[in-house]
Chains A and B, each alone.
Chain A
Amino acid sequence: MRVVSLLRVEIRRLLLNRMTWFMSLLIISSPALGLTLYRPISSTAGSGYSTSISGTFIANPALAGAIAGAILLAVLTAMEFSRPARHRMNALTDAVISPFQGAVVRTISLLITAAVIQGLTLLAWLPFTLVQTGAIFQLDVYVSLYLAIMLPAMIFAVLMTASAYLLTYRMDLTLALFAFFALLSLTVWDENWLLRWINPSIYYVSDAFSTSRLLRYILWNRLLWGTILSSIWLLSCLSIRRYGKGLVRSATINVRKGYIPALSALLIVFGWMAYTGQPFLDHSKMELDSNSKRFLYSDEFVTISSIHVKAFPDFTRARQHGIAEYQLQNSSEKPQTIAFSINPGYSLSSASVNGNPAVFRDLHNDEENRKTIEVDIPGDKEIEVTLEYGGFPQEWNILALRQGLDSQISRDYLYLANQDFAPIPRDLIWGSDEPNPYYIEVDLPSGMTPVVFGTETAQSVGKSSDGSIRWSIETNGASVILYGGDYMSRQIDAAGIQVDFWHSAKHNVLMNAFDADDVIRQVFQYCTSKYGPLQFYKDNKMRIIEIGSAGGGYASQGASVMGEDSFSARGFQDMRKGAGGNEVLAHEIIHQWWGLGNMFAQDDSERSWSSEGLTVYTTYRLMKEQYGEAYARENYVDKWQAEVDDYYQNFYIRNPAFLDKLPKAYRTRMDNGVAQMKQYSEMPLKLLKAEQLVGGEQKMDDILHALFNREIDYASPFLTYQQFLDACGLTKEDLELG
């Protein structure tokens, strides 16, 4: 009761303090900095600043508010804690209330002040955000982003500053320690998503799909720091000076309150568990191993004829659960071991073969966001393997700073790719030449439409008792990429191809306003006129899918996928904003000409020669035709050159003798970036050089047209670098960049 009444007095005193109101006013205004001066979310455009509407008008201001709020509340906390000493009233106040109660009451009142400031900030910025975000606005996203980003930063600042003051009893040292703590987050911990307490890492905030996973991982970061700082604050309470004694003797007296160290230790253990046991990222090796996907279990005796997966995603807990059945044929008539790749966040709850329990082993060998499950099968000729699996899908750890984009299970959006959807049989040979069927049954909430990466369409086959809809999809292959959301589709006739374009219903107005159909049509017409019509697809059909990601996309036979930033209003309004955003749309469509599985093999030993080189080059040519040479040079050629220079001019690349001095983590990062640089930048520069050497753009177009329409040798159907060089009459040396 005494603490409550003291709290009431302290809060009243704080609210009557002009300094509190001055600080509050500054903090409430500080999100304005995030609109122009401090925009930490990465731009998805090559030049100029562009990110989603939610990122621009909610997350960036919240991040700016977090930093300003933390700094100003730290100053206020230091001033409030040092007030009795500064006014030489501490002897008196200590005589009236116990110093311990005083510290608790001051801390809680400052935490309540932070919460009040946060509430006022939310109210103050609501009208502006509502007007700026328009149809995109979602109150829950607005409130939850501010509460996850800004409020905890202020709370942590209060706890940290209060702890520092209770330890040092010096205002200057307290603020210096706070500055150290803030700078750690802004500099040294910049690449560690768990340690960034003041500026949580946000790569992109979705407008059209979901922010659910992003929020989950920010909240995990907050949970970690909340426990650690609460523990430190409790420990610092032990150093509250008693009876005019120093730190050590006071601690000796205070430690008699045994529950304080016990609770503090418990919180530290909890924090440690939150740090080491984070569920969001896998534990893949940082080194990319180009051989990792090669055959490990190549088994000429076991073939596969079909896959049937029943999936029941849990949209409340964001977990996948499913039962997968695999029809196999074992011609060896001996027991064999087969393997499956699965998301490292999943586990198998049971495995059976022909209805009998089977032995399986989880190798926990995370690599490139997969791990291996081995299953022993008997010598029977016909085998049905049934695996029951589930868990929380983990994202690849090398993508730690762009979390929430590569896998998602939420009420608004589902994105489960390959091993995230179901275990993928590894290295088994298909039983026939025809693509083998892959049947999917999946339960989704009403209002969510499933779309697969391919040309097949889902059929609604029933309704569950909980109101969810059961969908059935028949596709083929060894794995599936499944998307779900408020999808709607439109049919576009583009240069003789029937394009089935799936996008979020939230973007429908945008697609109509800016005539997205025409933008898509232009790309098809350009490529068809230069290289010839697409000839790979049955019934001349293909699919384009918008997903809740940003900064790129992917394509394969029959489907091109791109992030929602490819369809932003700003991108449509100003196509000259720089390579990125909408130009990803063109890039992913062009992959239908120069794509994996039709022109290029999945794994090419010559890593720089891939589907990306010709696709990037063609995108450049298209943009040059549309916006002129100066634009194309600035946004493409200069950027390729800059990236190539960035690699080759790196001190350690130029001076390999020093490479062993560089810590392994940085060496690995450099190695991992080489393939991307060679494919996306060096090869396009070589192709540009080839264009000049063969006599210009027209000649190059003729060569590429001939290569695209060449007579396919089915023994080696893919386009090789040597074939390209031969067609140009050039050698590898001719295209060296020097």
Chain B
Amino acid sequence: MGKLFRYELRLIAFNRFYIGFFAVSLCFGWLILSTGTIQGVAHTAPFSPWSFGSYLTDLMPLLSIALLFMVWSFDSGQARRAKPLLNAATIAPFRHAAVKCAAAATAWLLLSAAIMLLGIGFLIFIFGNAVSIPALLAPAVSILLPVILFLMGSGLLALSRSRKIFLGLPPALLALHLLPLPSWMHLLATNFYSTYPLHMDMVDPGFTVPVSFIAGKLGYTLAGMIMLALALRKKYSCHT
């Protein structure tokens, strides 16, 4: 299984799409850091968890699209042509699909980690010891986990129905990102990190989030897990 996982991971990571996206994401990240994050959000320091969270949410639309296209690659022409061969192999289709998902998730998390490292490196380079790295991890987890599960789940489920439905997901995601919804409804936590501290009535608030925000994120996580399970049960990624 480990060998298969490494193979799938290499297939994604050494792909032109992944490398191109890696470069584009780092470039976009740098632009956001040097124009937005450096100013700090909601009166907090540029190296506060809030500013770092805002940096990540600004990048989320791009990273989300990257994730959706990694899922899309499960159903690429190449993958479909290899399907008869894989069906003849001894590995259970469900397990193979799960390994592919794990590889895509790992590749996406590596991309996210690179973005985070860029942010942390930028902040340490400018603000030195003032930056507390552990404090920056909490917003990262609260952003990345629901996104990866929900998008993988919805992406795989959409792909199991129709490629055309799947193609509607990126525009829908961008549109949702732009709409002024309540913060708990925003999958990508749009504007949450740059506005919530202003309502906390204190200077330099620690990183805490309201119950509604946690509930929203848990809802997306749960929905993502259910969709993922449904999609894998249909053994979509190997059999359709």
On whether the beta carbons of B38 and A666 are closer than 8 Å, the reply is: yes
- Residues from 21 to 53 in B contacting A, C-beta threshold 8 Å: 21, 24, 28, 31-32, 34-36, 38-40, 43-46
| Residue from the set A182, A183, A184, A652 with the largest chain B CB neighbour count within 10 Å | A183
B169 to chain A, nearest CB (A): 10
On whether the beta carbons of B43 and A180 are closer than 8 Å, the reply is: no
Any chain A CB within 8 A of the CB of B223?
no
On whether the beta carbons of A182 and B28 are closer than 8 Å, the reply is: no
B44 to chain A, nearest CB (A): 6
Q: Which residue of A lies closest to B179 (CB)?
A: A37
Any chain A CB within 8 A of the CB of B210?
no
Asked if A658 meets B127 with Cβ closer than 8 Å, knowing A19-B164, A67-B178, the reply is yes
B28's partner among A172, A188, A645 (CB-CB below 8 A) is A188
Any chain B CB within 8 A of the CB of A297?
no
A176's partner among B17, B43, B171 (CB-CB below 8 A) is B17
Any chain B CB within 8 A of the CB of A72?
yes
Any chain B CB within 8 A of the CB of A179?
yes
A265 to chain B, nearest CB (A): 24
Any chain B CB within 8 A of the CB of A71?
yes
Main secondary structure, interface of A, reads: helix
Any chain A CB within 8 A of the CB of B66?
yes
Any chain B CB within 8 A of the CB of A732?
no
Chain B contacts for A168, CB-based, 8 A: 16, 20
On whether the beta carbons of B36 and A187 are closer than 8 Å, the reply is: yes
CA distance A674 to B127 in the complex (A): 25
On whether the beta carbons of B46 and A172 are closer than 8 Å, the reply is: no
B14 to chain A, nearest CB (A): 14
On whether the beta carbons of A187 and B32 are closer than 8 Å, the reply is: yes
CA distance A172 to B159 in the complex (A): 14
CA distance A649 to B200 in the complex (A): 13
- Residues from 44 to 95 in A contacting B, C-beta threshold 8 Å: 67-68, 71-72, 75, 79, 85-86, 88
B34's partner among A183, A658, A663 (CB-CB below 8 A) is A663
On whether the beta carbons of B31 and A184 are closer than 8 Å, the reply is: yes
Any chain B CB within 8 A of the CB of A175?
yes
Chain B contacts for A650, CB-based, 8 A: 40, 43
Chain B contacts for A88, CB-based, 8 A: 77
Any chain A CB within 8 A of the CB of B174?
yes
Number of interface residues of A (CB under 8 A): 41
Main secondary structure, interface of B, reads: helix
Kindly specify which of B57-65, B96-104, B139-147, B211-219 makes contact with the partner chain.
B57-65
Asked if A652 meets B40 with Cβ closer than 8 Å, knowing A176-B66, A180-B24, the reply is yes
Q: Which residue of B lies closest to A78 (CB)?
A: B167
Any chain B CB within 8 A of the CB of A646?
yes
Chain A contacts for B2, CB-based, 8 A: none
CA distance A658 to B48 in the complex (A): 14
CA distance A172 to B203 in the complex (A): 44
Chain A contacts for B175, CB-based, 8 A: 68, 71
Chain B contacts for A184, CB-based, 8 A: 28, 31
On whether the beta carbons of B171 and A188 are closer than 8 Å, the reply is: no
Any chain A CB within 8 A of the CB of B69?
yes
On whether the beta carbons of B170 and A651 are closer than 8 Å, the reply is: no
Chain B contacts for A301, CB-based, 8 A: none
On whether the beta carbons of B62 and A172 are closer than 8 Å, the reply is: no
Q: What total count of A-B pairs have CB within 8 Å?
A: 96
On whether the beta carbons of A663 and B38 are closer than 8 Å, the reply is: yes
Chain A contacts for B204, CB-based, 8 A: 651
Any chain A CB within 8 A of the CB of B5?
no
On whether the beta carbons of B24 and A172 are closer than 8 Å, the reply is: no
A314 to chain B, nearest CB (A): 39
Any chain A CB within 8 A of the CB of B133?
no
Chain B contacts for A654, CB-based, 8 A: 203
On whether the beta carbons of A79 and B167 are closer than 8 Å, the reply is: yes
CA distance A71 to B175 in the complex (A): 9
Asked if A37 meets B32 with Cβ closer than 8 Å, knowing A88-B77, A172-B17, the reply is no
A179's partner among B34, B62, B127, B130 (CB-CB below 8 A) is B62
Any chain B CB within 8 A of the CB of A38?
yes
On whether the beta carbons of B43 and A651 are closer than 8 Å, the reply is: yes
Any chain A CB within 8 A of the CB of B134?
no
Any chain B CB within 8 A of the CB of A655?
yes
Q: Report A165-191 CB contacts with B as 1/0, cut-off 8 Å.
A: 000101011011101101110111000
Any chain B CB within 8 A of the CB of A513?
no
Chain A contacts for B167, CB-based, 8 A: 75, 79
On whether the beta carbons of A175 and B65 are closer than 8 Å, the reply is: yes
Q: Which residue of B lies closest to A658 (CB)?
A: B127
Chain A contacts for B77, CB-based, 8 A: 85-86, 88
Chain B contacts for A37, CB-based, 8 A: 179-180
CA distance A173 to B16 in the complex (A): 8
Any chain A CB within 8 A of the CB of B195?
no
Any chain B CB within 8 A of the CB of A16?
no
Q: Report B191-203 CB contacts with A as 1/0, cut-off 8 Å.
A: 0000000000001
- Residues from 609 to 663 in A contacting B, C-beta threshold 8 Å: 645-646, 649-652, 654-655, 658, 661-663
Chain B contacts for A666, CB-based, 8 A: 38-39
CA distance A663 to B33 in the complex (A): 12
On whether the beta carbons of A187 and B178 are closer than 8 Å, the reply is: no
11 contacts between A and B (CB under 8 A): A37-B180, A75-B171, A176-B21, A186-B178, A649-B203, A651-B40, A651-B43, A651-B44, A655-B45, A662-B38, A663-B34
* Further pairs besides A173-B17, A666-B38: 14, Cβ < 8 Å: A37-B179, A38-B178, A71-B175, A72-B171, A75-B167, A88-B77, A173-B16, A176-B62, A179-B62, A184-B31, A188-B28, A651-B45, A651-B46, A663-B38
What residues of chain A have their CB less than 8 Å away from a CB belonging to chain B? Answer: 19, 33, 37-38, 67-68, 71-72, 75, 79, 85-86, 88, 168, 170, 172-173, 175-177, 179-180, 182-184, 186-188, 645-646, 649-652, 654-655, 658, 661-663, 666
Ranked nearest first, the 6 interchain pairs of A and B with the lowest CB-CB distance are: A172-B69, A649-B43, A188-B31, A651-B40, A173-B17, A179-B65
What residues of chain B have their CB less than 8 Å away from a CB belonging to chain A? Answer: 16-17, 20-21, 24, 28, 31-32, 34-36, 38-40, 43-46, 58, 61-62, 65-66, 69, 72-73, 77, 126-127, 130, 164, 167, 170-171, 174-175, 178-180, 203-204
